[in-house]
Amino acid sequence: MELHLERLVGRMVSTANHRRLGRIEEIRTERVAGLPTVTAYVLGRLGLVERLGVGFRLLGGRKHVSGFVVRWDQLDISDVERPRLLCPVKELLRE
């Protein structure tokens, strides 16, 4: 599937019971067989800090910023306007 990733950044992710979980702030990728492949989506402040860099964290005065890391297979992006979590929140990596 081909998708312009900038369409996902800033979108609110909802859980299966329609609760708001957080906005996609960063998208992690790796090269697989020479092609860039999405491995995870980072939600909330954690993703924002990753996107803006360490300098932002230092300015904010926080050593630890929380957020969720959602594996590529835990998120339904078939509707880019309304990404939806495919698993319970307790299965997400919380950083």
**Tens-place pLDDT, residues 48-65:** 666 666 555 555 555 555
Helix and strand tally (H, E) in the chain? Answer: 2, 7
Q: What is the pLDDT of residue 76?
A: 96
User: In this structure, which CATH number among 3.90.1150.10, 2.30.30.240, 3.20.20.70, 3.40.630.20 belongs to the domain 5-94?
Assistant: 2.30.30.240
Is the entire prediction scored with pTM above 0.75? yes
pLDDT at 55: 54
> Is 12 within 8 Å of 23 (Cβ atoms)?
yes
The domain spans of the chain are: 5-94
Mind listing the pLDDT tens digit of every residue in the chain (95 residues)? 677 888 999 999 999 899 999 999 889 999 999 998 999 999 887 666 666 665 555 555 555 556 889 999 999 999 999 999 999 999 998 77
Q: How far apart are CA 78 and CA 90, in angstroms?
A: 23
